Structure 1
Amino acid sequence: MYIAFQKRTFFNYILGSFIAVFGVGSLFIFHTLTLSPDEIRYLLGIMMFSTLIMIVCEYVFYVKHIKPLREFYKRGHASYRSLVNAFHAIHSFPVLTVKRIMGPHLCGLSVPASGSAYIFIKMGYLDFPLYFIGLAWVGAILVAVMHALIEFFLTCRSIIPVVSDLLSRSEEYGKKLPLPHRHIVTIKGKLIYSSLFIAVFPILAFVLASGIQLNESSAGDIGAYWKWALTILAVIVSMAAFSSLLLYENINKPIEVLKQRFTKVEEGHLDPIVNIYSDEYATLVKGFNTMVRGIRERDKRNDSLLESFYTIFAATLDARDPYTAGHSNRVAEYAVLIGEVAGLPAGQIDLLKKSSLLHDIGKIGIRDDVLLKEGKLTDEEFAQIKMHPVIGANILEQVNLPNDLKPLLPGVKYHHERYDGRGYPEGLKGENIPLFGRIMAVADAYDAMTSDRPYRKGMPVEKALSILKDGKGTQWDPHYVDLFVKVISKNHKLGKQIG
């Protein structure tokens, strides 16, 4: 990570230097001035000599600025203080880059260049008026500011992987990394400084170049002047546009990240954003993460309330009909077992479990003398019992279930349908019976056969499974019977208790 960051920093430096110093700076010198071959050689020599001094000066400051990062990444087991220092250093790097360019970079280049030019003019090697050195300083400052602006935004982009890496490493210490108070440029500052430079730079650069060119050109050479002016304008406008694009990217990228994450939240993905920012976006991202955390906690509470809702209804049924106590929970366990063996998605299995817990909720609407009758039911009484799936579905419909819980209804309403179409309440047949209804019919029948009642003993497992197999394709879906019989037989042989 440390080496990759240094490579990106070096690339940014070369790119910014090439565009600002050797691109625009050289254009003003060699395209604006009328130079002899000897003067071109002298100026190239001055630039190379000054550039060497500039590189040495800037390297000294760069080593100082990169030191906290180097110490952290070179140590095998860095301390938390070292991590904090590295975190502060990487956040400060864009501003420190600007300081290096406006300090050792500018002075290391301009001071020896202007001194050498003064000596060469005095010795007669360069045929320039001395005030051109002052104009050169103005031009150098303009070029340095442009270079600093370019590298500032390139560095803002380059530090992101390092910031992310340091934040991930901070989890090992169980502490949050504090943002630095110094060397942080706000969005307001970025907009003001960048917009001011983008607006002023073209005017100042053109005025400066025009003053030099008018001094060099003859009054009658209007065509040559406009050819030159159009070339200079094209370069200036291109640089202003490039700087504006960098500014736009720096401001727009975090906004795009937030837009994407809000879309994810709408889709139900509640992932926080790694807060790699140090300006106003840091507060915005912090607010987003707080919102996500609140939604997670709310969903957790809602899930807990829903689980309590299902448990309360199951307990209510147990209290109403103690002879079938625990039946809903066991049916839910068997149904989930079938769903898992069938390879249903986790979300669908969760809904299957909830639907199974509520499958007999409609029995609340059956009179006690019918529901709790120990003897044989009359046809009229059995007709009342057969209404409990519809009553249960009506109860849940009145609750106004949200869309993601509406799949609970088919299981509650259709768990007594038969595969041959002779079931109730609607006489659905085959795969026209909803999935949950077909699975729960198997689970419900097995528990009814194997559970003890006051008037009879529960069947042995082998006999209940034999009845299920005999009823494949008539009473129950053969596919889910086969899956259930296979898993129950295997667990029974191993002595595992289910339900």
Structure 2
Amino acid sequence: MNIYGVFLKKQIRNYFFGSVIAVLAVGSLLLLSSLEISAVEYSRLLIVLLLSFSIMAITEVSVFMNQLKPIRTAMKEQRPTLAMLEEAYLYTHRMPRNAVQRILGPHLLGLSLPAALMTFWMIRTGLINLPYFYLLLVMVGAALVACMHALIEFFLTCSAIVPLIKEFRNRALDIYNVDFSLEGHVFVAIRPKFLISCMLIGTFPLFLFIMATHIRLDSLDSSSLAGLQSYWAWAGMVLMVGTLFSSIAAWLLTNSVQHPINELYKAMNNVKDGRLLQVQDEYSDEFSKLVAGFNMMVRGLQAREQQNRQLLDSYFTTLAVALDARDSYTAGHSLRVAEYSVIIGQLAGLTGQRLDDLRKSALLHDIGKIGVPDNVLFKEGNLTDEEFDQIKSHPVLGENILRQIEPVEKMAPYISGVRSHHERYDGKGYPDGLVGMSIPLHGRIIAVADAYDAMTSDRPYRKGMDHERALAILEQGRGSQWDPEFAGLFLAYFGKAASSEEEDVPGRAG
């Protein structure tokens, strides 16, 4: 049998189970057995109950078949459209809520109303000897019976729809490669579900007992009106206390379930946003297992995140070393520029991810030189204008290279530094001729670090200058070629380092 057939069979079985328990069993065994009436009157009441039940069943079946249309349509199609599958998927999730509506309407209008009208007619014509007050009790009892039947049907339907939900999701994946998800949408909230369920479970048997007891006492001693009034004063107090207790218990139970769910949901949002935070385990029930499982997952993600960071760091360092290995004269240049850039960044107050982004940007600042021909890059004599233009193209080439790396958003923090590390503070740099603070932060910092290392490193056409001479040039270019703040921080740092122990200066070129 196909999935839809199995589902339909379960729903029919569930319906009759709920109907028999909530209507026939309660109505016939509890209410009718409490009445002291003749066998003929019993038969007439049973006929009323069966007729009303039949009207209710016919109404519910018609409503149920109408509710099944989107599901039935999608299941019968050999290749349903994506919109058809999505509608059926969402509609299946609504089935438990629709089941409640399907039960309550026919119960109240198809069972209670016809039964009350037929019973009223029988009392009026003398076919049944019952007080009219019983009709009010029956109407109230019928409303409770409807609620209990709806409650049973709700939870049975929640279980029955699971195979259908999986089927629609799998078919969408197989046919259209689309994965359906509610994305956290809630069709039935936990709070009303628990509150209503607990209140019904607590008050339904209590009310039936009180009502049946009243009918029984009234049948045994119909002359004692004062006794019945005293009984209802007592019963009303019991019912009120029972309802209050059920409400408080339902509220407490709901909170005890909703709190850990909310905490886990917040924690999952943190994970989604990249904050791998564990949840404090403060529960002594099965939610402790959920929290432990969630924290285990977070620890696994943290370990993998650490591995990814290490791999990325190695990747950046390998690229920088590979670039520097192209020219023996500039070996270690990118690593030293990254080291100097981090020093300036720390002095400027950069920390955490911002400092790490600066370091990676500095490691890759010259990656564009891969695209510059060797005969130009390693030329010992003076460069022609055309050759110098080729050299000046390396920041843009570097940006273009980084934009080819996927995912693009992961490279975005490093692009500005790579493109702008040859801009000058006075606007005479390249490639964009940016001025002052319009030059990106990474570009202004790397420019200082790059210039210092370039001046102190040996090149084919010249020997590197000494430390003091390079610092003097940086001092002269503060505010014109380099950002005055970052150049000043760099000068101050090396001034202090040089005055204490010159051989400890990181990256000093000989």
The TM-score normalised by the length of structure 2 is: 0.56
C-alpha deviation, 1:394, in angstroms: 0.1
Once residues 377 and 214 of structure 2 are traced to their aligned partners in structure 1, the CA distance between those partners, rounded to angstroms, is: 102
Written as runs of structure 1 = structure 2, the 5 A alignment for 1:174-323 is 198=202, 202-203=206-207, 206=210, 219-221=224-226, 225-323=231-329
Give the whole-Å Cα distance in 2 for the aligned partners of 1:358 and 1:401. Answer: 17
Letter of the structure 1 residue corresponding to residue 445 of structure 2: I
Describe how 1:94-133 pairs up with structure 2 within 5 A: none
Tell me which residue corresponds to 1:337: 343
Query: What residue number does 1:7 align with?
Result: none
Cα offset, 1:409, TM superposition: 0.2
Residues 1:498 and 2:506 aligned together: yes
Q: Which residue is 1:126 aligned to?
A: none
Q: How far does residue 278 in structure 1 lie from its aligned partner after superposition?
A: 4.8
Q: Which runs of 5+ in 2 are unaligned?
A: 1-193
> Is the 1:335–1:443 Cα contact (8 Å) retained in structure 2?
yes
Taking the aligned partners of 2:242 and 2:213, their CA distance within structure 1 comes to 11
> Which residue of structure 2 lines up, in the alignment, with residue 358 of structure 1?
364
Written as runs of structure 1 = structure 2, the 5 A alignment for 1:411-422 is 411-422=417-428
- Alpha-carbon distance between aligned partners in 1 of 2:263 and 2:221, rounded to the nearest angstrom: 52
Equivalent position of 1:122 in the other structure: none
- 1:257 positional shift: 1.3
Asked if 1 retains the 8 angstrom alpha-carbon contact of 2:199 and 2:247, the reply is: no
> Is contact 2:202-2:243 (8 Å) kept?
no
Given that residues 417 and 441 in structure 1 are in contact (C-alpha distance below 8 angstroms), is that contact kept between their aligned partners in structure 2?
A: yes
Q: State the match for 2:415 in structure 1.
A: 409
> Letter of the aligned partner of 2:224 in structure 1?
A
CA deviations over 1:131-152 (Å, ceiling 9, x no partner):
xxxxxxxxxxxxxxxxxxxxxx
- Write the deviation string for residues 30-87 of structure 1: whole angstroms up to 9, x where unpaired: xxxxxxxxxxxxxxxxxxxxxxxxxxxxxxxxxxxxxxxxxxxxxxxxxxxxxxxxxx
**What is the CA–CA distance in structure 2 between the aligned matches of 1:403 and 1:216, rounded to whole Å?**
85
Is 2:402–2:411's contact at 8 Å kept on the other side of the alignment? Answer: no
Matches within 5 A, 1:471-490: 471-490=477-496
Partner secondary structure for residue 425 of structure 2 = coil
Tell me which amino acid in the other structure corresponds to 1:271: L
For 1:25-174, what aligned pairs fall within 5 Å after superposition? none
CA contact (8 A) 1:374 1:455 kept: yes
* Shift, 1:491, TM fit: 0.9
> Shift of residue 249 of structure 1?
1.6
Q: Supply the distance in 1 between the matched residues of 2:472 and 2:221 (Cα, whole angstroms).
A: 108
Q: Classify 1:273/1:425 alpha carbon distance in 2 versus 1 (closer, same or farther; 3 Å).
A: same
Aligned match of 1:438: 444
Whole-Å separation in 2 of the counterparts to 1:218 and 1:236: 29
CA contact (8 A) 1:202 1:240 kept: no
In the TM superposition, residue 305 of structure 1 has moved relative to its aligned partner by 1.7
Q: In 2, distance between residues paired with 1:346 and 1:309?
A: 19
Greater Cα shift, 317-326 or 229-238: 229-238
- Closer, same or farther: CA 201–328 of 1 in aligned 2, 3 Å: same
**Bigger RCO of structures 1 and 2 (CA < 8 A, at least 6 apart):** 1
Structure 1 residue 377 and structure 2 residue 361: aligned?
no
Q: By how many angstroms is 1:340 displaced?
A: 0.4
Aligned length: 309
Deviation at 1:420, TM superposition (A): 0.7
Query: C-alpha distance in 2, partners of 1:213/1:449?
Result: 109
1:467 aligns with 2:473: yes
Q: CA deviation at 1:219?
A: 2.2
Question: Do the aligned partners of 1:323 and 1:454 also contact (CA within 8 Å) in 2?
Answer: yes
Query: How does 1:1-12 map onto structure 2 within 5 Å?
Result: none
Deviation at 1:399, TM superposition (A): 0.7
Q: C-alpha distance in 2, partners of 1:446/1:216?
A: 110
Tell whether the 8 Å contact from 2:345 to 2:355 is kept in structure 1 after alignment: yes
**How many percent of aligned residue pairs carry the same amino acid?**
50
* Contact in 2 for aligned 1:417/1:423 (Cα 8 Å): yes
Q: Indicate the larger mover: 227-236 or 486-495.
A: 227-236
> SS of 2:225's equivalent?
coil
Q: Identify unmatched segments of 5+ residues in structure 1.
A: 1-189
Distance 1:482 1:217 in 2: 105
Quickly say closer, same or farther: Cα 1:216–1:263, change in 2 above 3 A: farther
- Indicate the residue corresponding to 2:433 in structure 1: 427
1:220 alignment partner AA? L
Contact 1:328–1:357, Cα closer than 8 Å, also in 2 = yes
1:393 correspondence with 2:399: yes
1:380 and 1:402 map into 2 onto residues whose CA distance is: 32
Question: SS of the counterpart of 1:343?
Answer: coil
Secondary structure at the residue paired with 1:418? coil
SS of the residue corresponding to residue 407 of structure 1 reads: helix
TM-score between the two structures when normalised by the length of structure 1: 0.57
Tell me: CA distance 1:393–1:217, structure 2 relative to 1, closer, same or farther (3 Å): farther
Amino acid at match of 2:500: L
Bigger shift: residues 443-452 or 433-442: 443-452
SS at match of 1:339: helix
Give the match's secondary structure for 1:427.
coil
Counterparts of 2:407 and 2:383 in 1: how far apart (Å)? 34
**Most deviating of 451-460 and 260-269:** 451-460
